[in-house]
Structure 1
């Protein structure tokens, strides 16, 4: 497997169009993060949020979810901290705006089924525009949503892509800290593991 440190060529990126990457998921997670869909860099490396410049991994660490800054090729460590990653749409594209409205709606329905199966304590969707399209909620804004998904509390977070210049790394980390605090309050002792034992 290509590591995130190995930069793919232009041809390799083009070949990654339409590929999929496995979820990082397990039953009973504290937070399941949900991206829009993989970019070509992630499709090539088979790693989530792999493109250099993506703010997901630094913001995750700054928010206190992980004890150190992880590399994309360390994504398998997340489940040990009660965290996971999936996507609304599985196929890799160069830009999220290549996705069709039908793909987003179908992806939203598939995400609801995944949540019902794995039962995370909270879901955090990274991208408000995609969330609006996938779930037919055109007025949704970043933050906790009044409607959950599959009986699970849901937050919408900023898209951490480097193309999203409206949100700084510190602002994204601040939103993640809000999710972290909310997740700590949602995770009860019935699972046998309190989320505070996992991420502070």
Structure 2
């Protein structure tokens, strides 16, 4: 598969027809993905580097490798290559950056953000939509979800909630739910493509 930056094999369609010109960096979305990880919004370091999960204190890339979703630890700027392993990326809020306390302080139209994310999931139908923190999951779902697989789906897409890999949440990090997700992906899709 080829991502939106022209890397990889086949062609990718735009992440969402009519995507807002205000989106800070493009989604990594295409047909046939095993899992799409969804964060709150880009952090400030990610915004500066124009790459998802780019803060050196964030364990996202390390965790993907540790649980076997990627064959090695990628650097943040390699994010477009995730499609090679059946993995996509997006954020609930695509038009702002910073810490969650800033993102969810009332200045962002969260109803519109929820609508757009739901439309993306229904369009691309990944096997799993995995929220990378309970905070972003609560903003989308409307309730404080427990970690792990959720009882509801978005279309045919299973919803999963993971502990945050952010350095700010390091003392609460637990790799167990990430391992459960990786096992689920392997068991239901024959492994990450």
- Whether the TM-score (by the shorter chain) exceeds 0.5 is yes
CA distance in 2 between counterparts of 1:109 and 1:135 reads 11
Give matches, 1:173-188, under 5 Å. Answer: 174-187=176-189
Greater share of helix: 1
Structure 1, unpaired ranges of 5+: 1-17, 188-194
Highest CA radius of gyration, 1 or 2?
1
Determine which of 120, 130, 133 is the counterpart of 1:124.
130
CA distance in 2 between counterparts of 1:34 and 1:197 reads 17
Q: What is the Cα-based RMSD across aligned positions, in Å?
A: 1.8
CA distance in 1 between counterparts of 2:147 and 2:90 reads 19
Moved over 4 A (4+): none
Q: Residues 44-103 of structure 1: CA distance to partner in whole angstroms, max 9, x if unpaired? A: 211000111111000110001111110011112110110011101113322111123563
Give matches, 1:36-75, under 5 Å. Answer: 36-75=40-79
Structure 2, unpaired ranges of 5+: 1-21
| Corresponding residue of 1:196 | 191
CA apart distance, 1:39: 0.8
| Maintained 8 Å contact 1:37/1:87 | yes
CA distance in 1 between counterparts of 2:192 and 2:93 reads 32
Relative to the length of structure 2, the TM-score reads 0.81
| Corresponding residue of 1:15 | none
CA apart distance, 1:112: 1.0
Relative to the length of structure 1, the TM-score reads 0.78
Distance 1:134 1:196, change over 3 A: closer
CA apart distance, 1:131: 1.4
| Maintained 8 Å contact 2:34/2:127 | yes
Q: Residues 156-195 of structure 1: CA distance to partner in whole angstroms, max 9, x if unpaired? A: 0112110013334xx23x32221111122333xxxxxxx4
